[in-house]
Amino acid sequence: MNVIDAMRASLATLEPSSLEIIDDSAKHAGHAGAKSGGGHYRLSIVSPRFAGRRTMERHRLVYDALGPLMKREIHAVSINAKSPEEL
C-alpha cells in the first residue's frame, strides 16, 4: 500500500464526504525532512466530525487519525478541514 492509500485508510475513521490528497514531495527535494524519506502532502477533507470545532481541533483529529504515518511516511501535511455546512 502506498502512502496516499494508507492516509485514505487512516482518515476513513473521520467519515469524510470528500477527501483529496496531493503529494507535494517533489517540490521539497533536498529539504531536511525529505532526507528521512517522509513526504510532504496537501490534504483537503470534509467531514461532519469537524462541525462546531475550531481549526486546531480539526487538525488534531486529522493528526490523530494519521497516527503512526506521521512518524515516518509523512514529514509535513497542509490541512484544509471543513464541515459539510461550510461548503
Q: How far is CA 75 from the centre of its chain?
A: 11
Burial status of residue 54 (CB atoms within 10 A of its CB: 0-12, 13-18, 19 or more): exposed
Are the beta carbons of 61 and 77 closer than 8 angstroms? no
C-alpha cell at 87: 461548503
**Distance in angstroms (rounded) separating the CA atoms of residues 46 and 73:** 23
Average pLDDT over every residue of 9-25: 97
Name which of 25, 23, 21, 47 is nearest 36 in CA terms. 25
Q: What is the pLDDT of residue 26?
A: 84
Which residue range forms the structural domain that includes residue 61? 3-86
Q: How many domains does the chain have?
A: 1
Residue-wise pLDDT for 46-85, tens only, equals 999 999 999 999 999 999 999 999 988 998 999 999 999 9
pTM for this entry: 0.89
Report the chain's mean pLDDT, rounded to a whole number: 92
Question: Domain of 46: which CATH number?
Answer: 3.30.300.90
